Amino acid sequence: MKTAVLSLGTNLGNRSENLKTAIHYIVSEVGRVVRESSVIETESWGFDSFPFLNQALVVETGLTPEELLGSTQKIERKMGRTEKSSTNSDTGLPVYSDRIIDIDILLYGNEIVNSPDITVPHPKICEREFVLRPLAELFGDEVVAPFEVSFASMLEKPNHYGYTL
């Protein structure tokens, strides 16, 4: 079994129910949830829209990173998400949109995965307060590999800490 950390976000419909439904599917299709952060409300990131509810989960799973990605995307589709973020063809920058649910794989054990389909740790962890706040709650001052500082330290100086694969 591996320990994976997932980030959940929703800004459409009954956001609280969306998180509960996603967790139900994660338990039935991914593995056992061993820890949950508090649910926080944050402004949309990367586009102007409705506020998000965000939460992080620590999950024990027997799935590989690729299988985990497939399962989380299946859950998103099952809940009504029709498209993932896209890229602006002129600027090459991501184009974000509203979503009933977004499930990102933040960590997979202490492994580094860099394939065409999946990058773990999630490359934008250090930039996103809505990810860092739940991670700081779950891990406190613990330094989680491959990072060299805690998520709490990263939260104090967003965008200051980064990592490369």
Choose the catalytic residue: 35, 77, 90, 104.
Answer: 104
Residue range of the domain that includes 98: 2-124
Per-residue exposure over 45-68, b if at least 16 CB sit within 10 Å of its own CB, e if not = beeeeeebbbbbbbbebebebeeb
Catalytic residue among 15, 81, 128, 133: 81
Catalytically annotated residue among 15, 102, 128, 133: 102
pLDDT tens, position by position, 115-162 = 999 999 988 888 888 999 999 999 999 999 888 889 998 888 765 555
In a domain, 132, yes or no: no
Instruction: Select which of 15, 99, 128, 133 is catalytic.
Output: 99
The pTM for the full model equals 0.89
Q: What is the pLDDT of residue 44?
A: 85
Is there a catalytic annotation at residue 15?
Answer: no
Is residue 27, in this structure, part of any structural domain at all?
yes
Query: pLDDT (tens digit, 9 = 90+) per residue, 64-103?
Result: 999 999 999 999 999 998 766 555 556 665 556 788 999 9
Active-site residue, 104 included: yes
**Is there a contact between 11 and 52 (Cβ–Cβ < 8 Å)?**
yes
Q: Is the residue at 74 inside a domain?
A: yes
**pLDDT for 164 beyond 70:** no
pLDDT at 67 (0 to 100): 97
Residue range 11-68, pLDDT digits in tens = 999 999 999 999 999 999 999 999 999 999 998 877 788 999 999 999 999 999 999 9
What's 10's domain CATH number? 3.30.70.560
Q: Token pair of 19, please?
A: 């998180």
Could you confirm whether 48 is annotated as catalytic? no
Active site residue 117: no
Looking at the 3D structure of the chain, how many domains does it have?
1
